[in-house]
Chain A
């Protein structure tokens, strides 16, 4: 019995084994599709933002089906924050490198052949940076709104207690 099998049989966290099994099959496809949308952003519809949202949805579906334990062990809130900040800095660095060509965000790399994967200079790099940033920040927003919600709901209870007293 491999590790994943153990998670599926575990009845305590997450949804039923049916959902878990389906998610296990779909997960890989979602991630590959997300990565494809990011990497082919300069050639086909999509790009960093759309692909990043798809990738983040992959992590979200993982959390919903298997519970927070597995999802946080794969992609913790701390790493989400670090990747979020670093990706923004990578994107800005690409902008700063443009100064060597004379302008901010100047596309200084070779443009290559049209419709090839390695073409369009810095644009695919920008897409990758945006993709990472959006993946991390959408997942971080999801974590903040769902898993760390306990703290906020306690605040709301306190608030209601206060208003009742008044």
Chain B
């Protein structure tokens, strides 16, 4: 696998262009081509879990001059999330996207987005990270407006403007870093930044990065694009945006840069914890009153990302005992993985209900478990996971984060986290009452379960919700542990330079 590491970006890019060329002649093969690309990527990503950390020099040029690709615990976990959820969303799209036109163009944009996200998580070069960030973002702007209706175009335009501002902030930050250090290689930056020490310019760079990547991660003062963009996108894209994109472009980039390049810092730590707590509270309070199924889920994404940000924030704090900081970071990363699984499942469920009932308003639905048993059951399982009910996966990660905050003496944050977990549960109980249980309206008396291609991803994701929760000590612990160690071990990251 090591020799073919760049294939993670090359395969989706190649297939995106081949897809457009081939479908000029034959439109039917587009599903097959996209499936071929995503299936090979997903199996490669799973194989990557068994590799020990390594670095790859593109074109054989030695770092810090050439472009470096880095594989360690964190990037392997991210690759699995991106490509496995990408594969499931793609399988779901084969049926769901028949309600739209121009399916080949959809798959091309989808594959470009996958290429961008894979690129962000494997790269070890600052400017390369920016380029891949833009590839993924621009593809997602187009995908959000894919329906070309009034609301969708408005959401897409809003996302485009805000995303453009964020990308500019990131580019500015990179330019400042380059002017101070003279290098763009990330392990090399990790060596040179401590030599320069703390100055105002460095503080400004951190602020730009927190703003830029924070907007991509939809943390609260920068969240305005998300509640419009996620409901407007087609369901598989909502699942990709909420389940993967905000993590790969936002959380992953913040974690990699703050932990591996800048190192622990009291100020950044308190900012991240505060933003996390704010996102958590604001997101959940806005979510409770929503009628639109997907808009409610979008607000919950903001809220759940708050947990992850808080975990990362405490992990960066140099003043708490290292074991506790590591525990909080572990909790944050674990919650990130869990959120990817249950939130993409919920968005796909919302899409499945919309596919049959034709509405996104949850007050118009009801009693759907009698007509759509598989979709309703998986929706129920994912709702229990996000509410933090044992033994599902969401419970463990929330518990770890809350325990870490309580033990570290941040009691207020801990209590807020418990309150938000409670509010999330209320919100999802209402959802279940409205949609799954209760009285079946007359007009939905004759609807059927969604096709197999849409049920299969839902069942797999729901099974994962349960499996990650039950088999947590056996499997996931090692994976998340490796990701956590990769972030905390700055020396290992520097060693990728190969000096």
Contact = CB atoms under 8 A, between A and B. Distances in A.
State yes or no: do A and B come from one complex: yes
Interface of A: 78, 81-82, 85-86, 88-89, 92, 95-96, 98-99, 101-107, 155, 159, 162
Contact of A89 (B18, B56, B57, B58): B18
Contact of B17 (A85, A95, A103, A107): A85
A92 B10 contact: yes
Contact of A105 (B3, B13, B24, B58): B58
Contacts of A102: 3, 60
Contact of B60 (A78, A86, A106): A106
A159 B148 CA distance: 12
Given A89-B17, A89-B18, A99-B4, A106 B10 contact: no
Counting chain A CB atoms within 10 Å of each CB, the highest count among B6, B17, B18, B148 belongs to: B17
A88 B24 CA distance: 16
A104 B56 CA distance: 9
A5 to B, nearest CB: 36
A95 B4 CA distance: 12
Interface in B44-92: 56-60
Nearest 4 Cβ contacts at the A-B interface = A104-B6, A105-B59, A103-B60, A85-B17
A104 B58 contact: yes
Main secondary structure on chain A at its contact with chain B? helix
B10 A104 contact: yes
Contact of A96 (B3, B10, B17, B24): B10
Contacts of A106: 59-60
Contacts of B148: 155
B20 A81 contact: yes
A103 B57 contact: yes
A142 B3 CA distance: 40
A136 to B, nearest CB: 12
A89 B60 contact: no
A155 B145 CA distance: 14
Given A104-B6, A104-B59, 20 more contacts: A82-B24, A85-B17, A85-B20, A86-B17, A86-B21, A89-B14, A89-B21, A95-B6, A101-B60, A102-B60, A103-B56, A103-B57, A103-B58, A104-B10, A104-B56, A105-B58, A105-B59, A155-B148, A159-B150, A162-B150
18 contacts: A78-B24, A81-B20, A82-B21, A85-B17, A85-B18, A88-B13, A88-B17, A89-B17, A89-B18, A92-B17, A95-B10, A98-B59, A99-B3, A102-B60, A103-B60, A104-B6, A104-B56, A107-B59
A85 B24 CA distance: 11
A67 to B, nearest CB: 27
A102 B57 CA distance: 10
Nearest to B19: A85
Contacts of B3: 99, 102
A89 B17 CA distance: 7
B14 A103 contact: no
B25 to A, nearest CB: 11
Contacts of B56: 103-104
Q: DSSP majority for the B interface?
A: helix
Contacts of B18: 85, 89
Nearest to B148: A155
Interface string B1-23: 00110100010011001101100
Contacts of B10: 92, 95-96, 104
A143 to B, nearest CB: 16
Nearest to B22: A85
A22 B156 CA distance: 42
A79 to B, nearest CB: 11
A25 B6 CA distance: 47
Contacts of A78: 24
A105 B67 CA distance: 11
B131 to A, nearest CB: 13
A154 B148 CA distance: 13
A95 B13 CA distance: 12
Interface string B260-277: 000000000000000000
Nearest to A105: B59
A101 B280 CA distance: 50
Contacts of A82: 21, 24
Nearest to B18: A89
A103 B14 CA distance: 17
A107 B18 CA distance: 24
Nearest to A78: B24
A86 B24 CA distance: 13
Nearest to A92: B14
B127 to A, nearest CB: 16
Interface string B144-173: 000010100000000000000000000000
A52 B71 CA distance: 35
Nearest to B11: A92
Contacts of A81: 20, 24
Contacts of A89: 14, 17-18, 21
Interface string B223-251: 00000000000000000000000000000
A85 to B, nearest CB: 4
- Most chain A CB atoms below 10 A, which of B4, B57, B59: B59
Contacts of B6: 95, 104
Nearest to A155: B148
Nearest to B154: A159
A82 B21 CA distance: 7
A100 to B, nearest CB: 11
A99 B24 CA distance: 30
A148 B14 CA distance: 28
A56 to B, nearest CB: 19
B13 A92 contact: yes
Nearest to A122: B59
Nearest to A106: B60
A3 B53 CA distance: 65
A67 B59 CA distance: 45
B21 A85 contact: yes
